[in-house]
C-alpha cells in the first residue's frame, strides 16, 4: 500500500524517512537520532513507529497488547513535529477514545510512524510511566 501525505507542493511516502531526524522523549529529556538506514528497530507496533523508536532509545513505553492497536497503553502526545506524522487511522482513533488524558495531539505509539520530515518532541503522559523502574 503506497499512501502519500501531501504537504504543500511535496508528496512524501507515509512512514518512510529519507533523512535522519530526532525524537525527544519528555519528560525524560531523552533524544534519539533516527537513522533511516536502521528502521525498523524492533518488532513492537508498526515498523518505525514511535513505540519501536522509544524502545530502541531505552525509553519505557507500556504496550500491553504488544503493539497491535488493541489497547491504548502506548498513548503518547506529539508536542512538536506533528506534521511529520500521518493522519491516524479509524482503528487508532477508536482505541484512543479509551486513553486517559486524551488531547488533540494524542497518538498511539504503536501506530504513529513519523516520515522524517521534521524533528519530534513526544510526551509520555505521567499515568503511562512505569514508576516501579524509576529510582527513588
Give, for 107, the enclosing helix (H) or strand (E). Answer: strand 106-108
- Tell me which of 121 and 42 has the higher pLDDT: 121
**Distance between CA 72 and CA 28 in Å, rounded?**
21
Provide the grid cell at 27. Answer: 519528560
In a domain, 61, yes or no: yes
Q: How confident is the model at residue 129 (pLDDT cuts 50, 70, 90)?
A: low
Asked, for residue 63, whether it belongs to a domain, the answer is yes
Interatomic CA distance for residues 44 and 3, integer angstroms: 21
**What's the structural domain count of the chain?**
1
Answer whether residue 13 is part of any domain: no
Determine how β-strand 4-7 pairs with β-strand 75-80.
unpaired
Q: Are 64 and 73 in contact (CB under 8 A)?
A: yes
Q: CATH no. for residue 85?
A: 3.10.20.30
**Percentage helix, strand, coil, to 5, in the chain?**
20, 25, 55
Q: How far apart are CA 91 and CA 124, in angstroms?
A: 21
Task: Supply the pLDDT for residue 38.
Answer: 82
The percent of residues above 90 in pLDDT, for the chain, comes to: 65
**Listed ranges 5-9, 15-19, 89-93; the one with the highest mean pLDDT:** 89-93
Q: Which domain holds residue 50?
A: 18-129
Structural domain includes residue 9:
no
Amino acid at each position: 500500500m503506497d499512501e502519500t501525505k501531501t504537504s504543500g507542493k511535496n508528496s512524501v511516502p507515509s512512514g518512510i524517512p529519507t533523512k535522519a531526524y530526532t525524537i525527544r522523549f519528555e519528560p525524560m529529556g531523552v533524544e534519539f537520532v533516527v537513522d533511516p538506514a536502521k528502521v525498523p528497530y524492533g518488532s513492537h507496533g508498526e515498523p518505525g513507529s514511535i513505540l519501536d523508536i522509544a524502545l530502541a532509545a531505552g525509553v519505557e513505553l507500556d504496550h500491553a497488547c504488544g503493539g497491535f492497536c488493541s489497547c491504548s497503553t502506548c498513548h503518547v502526545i506529539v508536542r512538536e513535529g506533528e506534521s511529520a506524522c500521518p493522519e491516524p487511522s479509524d482503528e487508532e482513533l477508536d482505541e484512543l477514545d479509551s486513553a486517559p488524558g486524551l488531547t488533540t495531539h494524542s497518538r498511539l505509539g504503536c501506530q504513529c510512524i513519523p516520515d522524517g520530515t521534521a524533528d519530534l518532541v513526544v510526551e509520555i503522559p505521567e499515568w503511562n510511566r512505569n514508576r516501579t523502574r524509576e529510582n527513588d
